[in-house]
A and B are shown apart, each in its own frame.
Chain A
Amino acid sequence: MKRLKKGILFFLTFFFLLGLCSAAASRITAGCRGCVRGRSRVFAGISAEKKDSLDVIFLGDSESYTSFSPMDLWAQHGIASYNCGQSSQRIQETYYMLKTALQTQSPKLVILETNLMFRDPGLAENVLLTVGEPLRFYFPALRYHNIWKSVFDGPKTDADSFKGFPVHSDIEPYTGAKKYMQPTDSVKKMPAHTYLYMDMIRKLCAKNNASLLLVSTTSPVNYSYPKHNALEAYARRYNIPYFDLNLDDRAGIDWEKDTMDKGDHLNLSGARKVTAVLGSYLMENYSLPDHRGEKKYSDWNTLLEQYQTAADRTENG
């Protein structure tokens, strides 16, 4: 009995110390832009945003952060958004990304890029993520443990990321079929754990009074009609709006110059076209406030200038 008590005390102390480390890691992360690298950077990025300043949160994998540019939404409509896309994000990460965002933000709209709903990393990885992600969320010391390295390596400027959107200028044309969305009745199956985590994401949005919108970005490599059917059915079943940019040709994507890797991801020029279409869709369907000119958002204009410069540089050479 005494040994059991001792054992419990050992673990309690352990978690207490881990909590202390986590508090420290969070504070250091918030105060040190660019100190967190790799996949965790996005978590640090969203946590560092000014409290309650964002109205729209983008979630998703690399399809999300190469397609939707918050600075364009700001320039055109004054929408304050942040792109939390993370390369090959798993849906467990998506959920905790949203939870992390909700710690400091109260968005009116959460936009989920749908590509990750079909990703299945396999049982082992799923179990690992299901256990690991909550641990990393509640004990950020685990997520940001490499932060000490910035003492030696120095912070890396994240000037190339504009509210989660990096400027990519490479061009590698897509040479496949232009009409890759051939209507069919077949439906692509989504893995079981997607349903589980989508339930959690929907509930989390509802609890925080945020609308959820599913968006599929233009990508001939990643999308097809069976996927569209699956998403359409899912959206109808749960009464969520779904916007498929693959079936909307207003963007006028030129596959000769708007993709950076043969139709997998869009480059800057492609992203700007797609964002413009999404922007008008948002204006039609949601009433999002225009923050331009507000004092609280003055730094957004500074960032916009930098964005403009970066964009001009890539577009002109």
Chain B
Amino acid sequence: MTTFQLILYILIFLPLCLLFYRLTPQKHRWKALLGFSIIFYLMLCRELSLILYLAGAVLITHYIGIWLAWLQSEEQREIRESADSAGKSREKEIRSRYRTRARGVLAFGVLLLLSILAGLKYYNFLIRTLSEILNGAGLSSSLSEIRILLPLGISFYTLQAIGYMADVYWGRIKAEPSLAKTALFLMFFPQIIEGPICRHSDTAEMLYAGKTPERTDFTAGYIRIFWGLFKKLVIADRLALLVSQVFDDYRDYSGVVVAVSAVAYTIQLYMEFSGFIDIVIGSGRLFGIRLPENFRQPFCSQSAAEFWRRWHITLGVWFKSYIFYPVSVSGTVKRWNQYGRKHAGKYLTRLVTSALALFPVWLCNGLWHGDRWSYIFYGMYYFTLIILGTAIEPVRDRVLSACHISADSIWLRSFRILKTWLIIFTGELFFRADGLKAGIHMFRSIFRDFDIGNLWDGTLLNLGMSPADFAAVIAGCIIVAAVGHIREHSGSISTRIAGSSLPLRWGVCYALLFALLLFAAYGDGYQAIDLIYAGF
């Protein structure tokens, strides 16, 4: 989505939808939402045929859900019928028979969706890797890479669809009988591009209910939207100038400049991704729909593990619910657990169990981001750090108590936050670098010609950002940090502003609007920057 499309969406598409929504009788409102979602998707699709993938995913998800529900009702019927005649042992047999069948149906659905996703995302990667191997063996391959257009939001709606089917399978939710309603759940328009990845229990009820939004929803929604735009246009799009210059010609830079660009990219990514999520959540709010939060002040995390509970939260929750826990209660892990507790001691058992359950999570996290070795490296990087964190935890606690340092002391907390920042910046350096080789090159070049003086001797001013741009970014970050501080300690700000007196409400709106009109990176010397996460 370009900035231009974003502005049109906010100023024209949203108000029109909202008006139409309010005029529609409550019981038909969900149909209006589905209609908007289809129009929205078609307008943003680069090729109309790409909507077929989404339609396919909707059909698969829906009918797998229906199939699972049918199996469940059949199971109940058989159990009821057998109850009078045979008794308990028969019930067990029926249960296990249906379980196997249901598991097969679920696996079929999940594999179908995953193979579409993997086919589109990793086809070229596989071809490349395969031909490298063949070349290495002295053979030539006749397969060539093809240009693939990814359907908008496929990485996001696929996860949502899998979550829905698994929830039906586990009996956490009832299968949705209406195909159109399933479609709305999967493609609700603001969230289809970059998430948040919703669970059926998060949003479905609100989407279908069509309740009239409250008065404060309107103000809170628009404040949230403008806040998101502020983060993207005032901060992220300025940093993009420096980031693309350094990362695109990474061989020309070393030392402090590379370090600064890693920090700049981390901030850019956060401002852009969380800013767009603000716009998405604000859009939902306008219709009275509360989408789940995706970020919770990630930069005050004290460890890598905590960072991932505060950054791209819905992705983390998805991995936890549908990979981490299922793996951790699977046969293999349980068998290790029993064996370990007898032979390896508690500490080691716990560590290996965690590692076993965590490894697939981070492998998938890497793969999900795309077909690059650097993404897989990124996943493994966090896997290693988080396991290390768990491994040294007891040692650390003992050292701390031996030195009489309270875990809550401000010094220790600051130290841990700074340590986490270093971890995050390094991770994002590899994440943004153009491939793993480039990432390693850049990381090593930080320690070459490292001269801290470059921070203020003007070197940074030759990287596409002028002193005024740095000033705007710094001021913007201070404002975002201040707002984050308030959010961290007293919860949602936009809701409170929306409920306050008129002068304050309007004052905040005008402040945001004029900050955007006057300080956003548009006009002379700036280029519109596309969304980063929409590419995943």
Chain A interface (Cβ < 8 Å from any Cβ of B): 10, 13-14, 17-18, 21, 36-41, 124, 128, 141-143, 145-146, 148-153
Min CB–CB distance B398 → chain A (angstroms): 51
B4 close to chain A: CB less than 8 A? yes
Q: How far is the CA of A141 from the CA of B516 in the complex (A)?
A: 12
Verify B523–A141 contact, CB threshold 8 A: no
For residues 498 through 531 of chain B, which have their beta carbon under 8 Å from a beta carbon of chain A?
Answer: 506, 509-510, 513-514, 517-520, 522-525
Complex formed: what's the CA distance from A241 to B530 in Å?
46
B517 — which chain A residues lie within 8 A by C-beta? 18, 21, 141-142, 145
Q: Closest 6 interchain pairs by CB?
A: A38-B524, A149-B468, A152-B468, A152-B467, A153-B466, A145-B518
Please indicate the chain B residues that have their CB under 8 angstroms from the CB of A14 in the complex: 510, 513
User: A124 contacts which chain B residues (CB < 8 A)?
Assistant: 4
What's the minimum C-beta distance from A10 to chain B, rounded to whole angstroms?
7
Residue of B nearest to A150 (CB): B468
- From B509, B519, B523, A38 is in contact (CB under 8 Å) with B523
- A150 CA to B522 CA, complexed, in Å: 16
Q: How many residues of B contact A (CB 8 A)?
A: 20
> In the complex, are the beta carbons of A37 and B524 less than 8 A apart?
yes
Q: For A152, give its contact among B466, B509, B513, B520 (CB under 8 Å).
A: B466
Bound together, the chains give a CA A142 to CA B523 distance in angstroms of: 9
B471 close to chain A: CB less than 8 A? yes
Q: A151–B467 Cα gap in the complex (Å)?
A: 9
**A149 CA / B525 CA spacing, docked (Å):** 12
Contact residues in B for A141 (Cβ distance below 8 Å)? 517-518
Query: B residues within 8 A CB of A21?
Result: 514, 517-518
For the complex formed, measure the closest distance between the CB of A38 and the CB atoms of chain B, giving whole angstroms. Answer: 3
Nearest CB of chain B from residue A93's CB, rounded to whole Å: 13
Docked CA distance A152–B469 (Å): 9
Which residues of A sit under 8 angstroms from B4, Cβ to Cβ?
A: 124, 128
In the complex, per-residue mask of B462-493: 1 if CB is within 8 Å of any chain A CB, else 0: 00001111110000000000000000000000
> Complex: how many Å from CA A39 to CA B506?
34
From A3, which residue of chain B is reached at the shortest CB distance? Answer: B215
Residues of A contacting B468 in the complex (Cβ-Cβ under 8 angstroms): 148-153
* Cα A151 to Cα B523 with chains together (Å): 18
Q: Name B's A-contacting residues (CB within 8 A).
A: 4, 466-471, 506, 509-510, 513-514, 517-520, 522-525
Q: Roughly how many angstroms separate A106 CA and B520 CA in the complex, as a whole number?
A: 35
Q: Is there an interface contact between B518 and A17, defined as CB atoms closer than 8 Å?
A: no
Contacts of A145 in B (CB 8 A): 517-520, 522-523
- The interface centre, meaning the residue of B4, B518, B522 with most chain A CB atoms within 10 A of its CB, is B518
Partner of A146 from B506, B510, B524 at Cβ < 8 Å = B524
Interface pair A148/B518, CB less than 8 Å apart: yes
Minimum Cβ distance to chain B for residue A19 (Å)? 12
Are A152's CB and B471's CB within 8 A?
A: yes
Query: Across the interface, which residues of B come within 8 angstroms of A37, CB to CB?
Result: 524-525
Q: Across the interface, which residues of B come within 8 angstroms of A143, CB to CB? A: 523
**Neighbouring B residues of A152 by C-beta, 8 Å:** 466-468, 470-471
Known: A14-B513, A128-B4, A152-B466. A40 touches B523 (CB 8 A): yes
- What is the chain A residue whose CB lies nearest that of B505? A10
Instruction: Determine whether the beta carbon of B525 is less than 8 Å from that of A13.
Output: no
Known contacts A39-B524, A152-B470; can you find 9 more A-B pairs with CB under 8 A? A13-B510, A14-B513, A21-B518, A142-B517, A145-B522, A145-B523, A148-B519, A150-B468, A152-B466
Tell me, in angstroms, the Cα distance from A149 to B524 when the chains sit together. Answer: 11
* Complex Cα–Cα for A14 and B509 (A): 10
**A40 to B525, alpha carbons, bound, how many Å?**
10
CB distance from B222 to the nearest CB of A (A): 11
Q: Say yes or no: B467 contacts A146, CB within 8 Å.
A: no
Residue of B nearest to A38 (CB): B524
Rounded to whole angstroms, the CA-CA distance of A153 and B470 in the bound complex is 10
Q: Inside 8 A of B469's CB, which chain A residues have their CB?
A: 149
- Most A C-beta atoms less than 10 A away, residue of B513, B524, B525: B524
Measured in the bound complex, the distance between the Cα atoms of B471 and A142 in whole Å is 20
* Least CB separation from B466: chain A residue: A153
Q: Is the CB of B467 within 8 A of A153?
A: yes
Bound: A235/B517 CA distance, A: 41
A143→B520 CA distance, assembly (Å):
12
Residue numbers in A under 8 Å from B506 (CB-CB): 10, 13
Complex Cα gap A299–B522 (Å): 35
A selection of 18 A-B contacts at a CB cut-off of 8 Å is A13-B506, A13-B510, A14-B513, A17-B514, A18-B517, A21-B518, A38-B524, A38-B525, A128-B4, A143-B523, A145-B517, A145-B519, A145-B522, A146-B524, A148-B519, A150-B468, A152-B467, A153-B468
- In the complex, A52 Cα to B525 Cα: how many Å? 31
In whole angstroms, how far apart are the Cα atoms of A117 and B83 in the complex? 87
Question: Which B residues touch A18, using CB under 8 A?
Answer: 514, 517
Q: Could you tell me the distance in whole angstroms from the C-beta of A136 to the nearest C-beta in chain B?
A: 9
**Which residue of A is nearest B7, CB measured?**
A128
List, in ascending order, chain A residues with CB within 8 A of B514's CB: 17-18, 21
- Specify the chain B residue showing the minimal Cβ separation from A17: B510
A183 to nearest B CB, angstroms?
42
